[in-house]
Every structure is written in C-alpha cells, then in structure tokens.
Amino acid sequence: MLPPQADLLIKGGTIYPGGAEPITGDVAIKDDRIVAVGPHLKVAAARILDARGMIVAPGFIDPHSHMEDWLTDDDAQRRLVEPFLMQGVTTAFVGNDGGGRIKVGELLASPRTKPVGINFASYTGFGTIRSEVIGNARRTPTAEELAREKALVRQAMCEGALGLSTGLFYAPQSFSQTDEVVALAQVASGMGGRYDTHLRDEANYTVGLAAAVDEAIAIARDGHIPAHISHIKALGVDVQGLAPAIIAKIEQARREGLDVTASQYPWEASGTSLVASLIPLWAQDGGRAAMLRRFDDPALAESLRSEIGENLRRRGGAGSLLIVEGRWKNQRLDAVARGLGLDPVAAAIAAIREGDAATISFNMAESDIVAFMRQPWTMTDSDASTAHPRVYGSFARKYAVYVKERKVLTLREFIDRSSALTADWFGLTDRGHLRPGAFADVVVFDPATYAARATYEQPDLTATGVRWVLVNGRLAVEDGRLTGTANGRELPHTPPAGSCQ
C-alpha cells in the first residue's frame, strides 16, 4: 500500500537505486524516509521536483573525509559542508589516518548544539590512543600499556565509534609493530567495528607499498576484522606500475575469505607539505626548531642534501611539486629554484626556512589510478584535507572524467561504489539505497553538467551540475544552491548487545 500523501515527489528521473539497475520513475519521500520508488507513482505530494533528464541516486558517502573541523566549526555556514553538498555527498566519515578521538561520544553529540549539513560517523584513532598511553616514544608498549590502549579502543567503540583507524606512516603510529595493531583491531572487531588504514608506506620510504599492503591483510586476518585501505595509490616513481600486483594481493586475500576493501580519490596528485614530502624523519625529530638547527649544522649538510635529493627523485623531481600557499603560491619547486638561482635541494631548504608550505605532489601514474578504480571493491573517497581540489571536486571529477570522458567506469559502477557499496560494507543501516524505508538521502544531478570546477591552482571552486540534494528528507541543495538547511545526523555504530556492560 502506498501512502496517499508524500511530502515530496522526485518525478521522471533516471533512478539509480544503488546496487541495482536503473529505472525511469519517481521517488516519494515523507518525513525523513523514502516511502516509494517506481515508475508513474500514484502518490499525491505537497511538492513535486521535475527530474526529467536528471540522474537520481543515493546521496554519496565519503569514507575518508577529514571534515571534522568543518562539522564542529562555530560558523554555522561552514558546518553545512558546502564542498560536499554541492557534489551530492550526504554522509562522510571522520577520524581517519589514526587521528580519531577517544571520546567519540562527544563528537557524536555535537550536532545537538551545532547542527550539521551532512551525516557523519567517526573512527577512533590509533595515533590518538598511542599518544595518550605512550606519548611519542619510539618503542613497543609494555603489557600494561597495551591493556590500557585496548581499554581505550573499547571505550571509544562503546561511545559509537565506527571502528579503529590507523595512519601507520605517521609518527608515533609508525613506531608500532603489527602485533600491537592486531591486538587493538581484535577489540574493535569484537564490537562489530571496522579497520581503516592509511598504509605504513604508500611509496618506498620504509617497508614499501607491497609489504604495507601485506600488513593490512595480516591485520584483517589476525584481527578477524573487515579491513579498508584508504586512498589507495602507488606513490612515487619507484612504485608506479605496482597497482596490478597490489590488486592481486587483495584479490588473493578476498579469495581466502578476508573482507578487504579500498577507497580512492581520482587525482594524480596527493596533498602534502614541503617538509613532509622532502625532509627525512630523523631531521624532523624534535620539531621545527630542531630541524632548522640541523639545517645550519655543517656536519649534517651532506647527508641532509643527499636525502632531500633522493626524496625529490622519488616524488618525480622538482617539477612535480606545486607549492599552494605563501610566497611561492602556485609555483612548482623547479621554478622557485630558478627564481632563487639555486638548485632544487637548496631551494627547498630556503623555502622551508620561511615556513612549511602546503604542497601538491604529482606522484601517481594514470594507469595505476585506473587499475585501482576498476576494482569492484574500490569505493570513492576524497581525503579532503589541505589546499587540494579533492575537497571540492572528488566525486564530481570521478563522474565527469572517469565515467563520461574516459569511460573507465559505467555510471552505475560510479554510483554504486560511491553509495551502496560504502553503506553496506560499513554497516550504515538504511542508507546508500533508494528504496522504501531507507532514509531519504538523495542527489539529483544533470549528467550533462555534473563536473568539478576545482583545479590545483584554484582548489576551492564548488562543483557544477547538482540540482537537488536531500539529507534525511529535507532539501539541502535546491536548484543548484544551498538552502541553508542543516539536517545531517550523527551515525553512531551500535556494538553488539551486552558488549559494553
């Protein structure tokens, strides 16, 4: 039985329901839910949106967003998260890379006093937990410390964390051995959580990309936990071309019965900073002041120069680094060097002396990007941090470039892997699908004009082509403009009954 009256009817669009073939028809919405989907619905509605010629899809879900600061900002406008809404993203995960809070409950309570534009879930973070228990120490935890870390994972899971995130590349997480991570993953797993990782190495800085993927798979196996590799990539000239080998490893793990997935942002450049991309870790130890002292130490000059030179080579040379803030904004490091009359290494040191500028690093091969993207277990993410167009354009670019222009994915593959796959794998109940009973998170976009405008030089331009966005049944975007409605919700994970007593 259809309800006689809906609040809203999205009429005549091409509906991609999420995980199913498209149909032409209508979507009826009442309160915060979808009440009917199908051709020629006989539903009276207070309002009708004419979606003929448009694509109607589940609101997109970003499993690696770095949007916590936006979602908790004092500025109500910023909390709408315009860059995401204007691409049709209605749900985002925060707390990735090991940076998630221990007091996840506090974050999840935030919308009660500070309404947000999109839904969100949060991980707790290994980095936060390890820092809390052992500080910055470069060692394995004692038995007592490990017990304390496990208790903190448990606490965070009981407060609604989605799972445990790690950023094993980053200190102090990089000081861990695999078994420490496994022990914590087991706690998260016992409470229905998932494991999300920024790998220990996406390049060949330390263990290398292949070994880092092996480690993620070992954590899935020994932690008995579904594992997700975030922003999967082969970073730098030495590992470019490795995507097929990495895919084979993940396929093998999946055949073994391990639940391993990944997500990816569709850009050939990552976001970093001059220091993070070029300065060896030993030279950063102790912070900026200590690093600058080392720059002035003649005894260290040669090894510093040679290691910076090696990191430059690894990233593809001085022409592959674009500085995006400060005095050299929108200049590549080779141009900076020419301007200063210095070689690239000396120019990098000179630039870092003035500050650690955010930097775009062109380090991925298109063939690797495409190979990862084609996998049915690769979701769309944004990794929306730093001055990078991925904040404003990842989902829109993936459609415009990889569906429409290059035909790497079909429209359905793009939509499913940006919505249903993500919702189902992460256990988001009643989201990621357009079906009766599901929450009404919906994007309606124009297939002719949906595209990113953001570029590396001008990263903060909103996407085009999104006509309407609904978040929990209310219009957040109307005729291509934000309505100002903040109807997003926190999405707490619920651990199995009895596990938090």
Of 169 and 399, which has the nearer Cβ to Zn ion? 169
Figure out which of the listed residues 66, 198, 233, 489 binds Zn ion, where binding follows CB under 5 A.
198
- CB of residue 461 vs Zn ion: minimum separation in angstroms? 23
Q: How far apart are CA 37 and CA 24, in angstroms?
A: 10
| 66 lies in the site for Zn ion, by CB under 5 A | no
Pick 97 or 159: Cβ nearer Zn ion: 97
Binding mask 88-107 for Zn ion (x = CB under 5 A): ---------x----------
User: What is the DSSP track for 214-257?
Assistant: HHHHHHHHHHT--EEETT----STTTTT-HHHHHHHHHHHHHTT
Q: What is the DSSP letter of 405?
A: I
Residue 98 beta carbon to Zn ion: minimum distance, rounded to whole angstroms: 9
DSSP symbols for 432-461? SS-STTSB--EEEE-TTT-B----SSSTTP
Shortest spacing between CB 382 and Zn ion, in angstroms: 11
Strands in 95-235 per DSSP E: 119-122, 124-125, 163-167, 194-198, 227-229
Cβ closer to Zn ion: 126 or 468? 126
At its nearest, how many Å lie between Zn ion and the CB of residue 173? 11
Of 97 and 356, which has the nearer Cβ to Zn ion? 97
Contact range with Zn ion by CB under 5 A, out of 73-81, 174-182, 195-203, 394-402? 195-203
CB of 182 to Zn ion, least distance (A): 20
Per-residue string for binding with Zn ion, 212-251, x by CB under 5 A? ----------------------------------------
Q: Smaller CB distance to Zn ion: residue 64 or 150?
A: 64
By C-beta, is 71 or 420 nearer to Zn ion? 71
Residues 6+ apart with CB under 8 A from 20: none
Closest distance to Zn ion from the beta carbon of 212 (Å): 12
Helix (H) or strand (E) holding 14: strand 5-15
- Cα(164)–Cα(136) distance, integer angstroms: 19
3-state DSSP call for residue 27? strand
Span interacting with Zn ion, options 179-187, 192-200, 421-429, 453-461, rule CB under 5 A: 192-200
Least Å distance, CB 160 to Zn ion, is 22
Spell out the residues 6+ positions from residue 367 whose beta carbon is closer than 8 angstroms to its own. 241, 243
Return d(Cα 240, Cα 268) in angstroms, integer. 11
Rounded to a whole number of angstroms, the minimum distance from the CB of residue 377 to Zn ion is 18
Q: Rounded to the nearest whole angstrom, what is the least distance from the CB of residue 371 to Zn ion in the complex?
A: 20
Residue 38 pairs with which residues in a beta bridge?
Answer: 26
Which residue has the CB atom at the shortest distance from Zn ion?
198
Smaller CB distance to Zn ion: residue 271 or 344?
A: 271
Q: Indicate whether 79 belongs to the interface with Zn ion (CB under 5 A).
A: no
Contact 237, 269 (CB under 8 A): no
Using a 10 angstrom Cβ sphere, with 0-12 exposed, 13-18 middle and 19 or more buried, the burial of residue 67 is buried
Q: Which is nearer to Zn ion, 198 or 489 (CB)?
A: 198
Size of the site for Zn ion (CB under 5 A): 2
Edge-to-edge strand order for the sheet containing 358-362?
269-273, 358-362, 321-323, 331-332
Q: Which CB sits closer to Zn ion, 198 or 294?
A: 198
Which positions ≥6 away from 69 have C-beta within 8 Å? Answer: none
Interface contacts to Zn ion, rule CB under 5 A: 97, 198
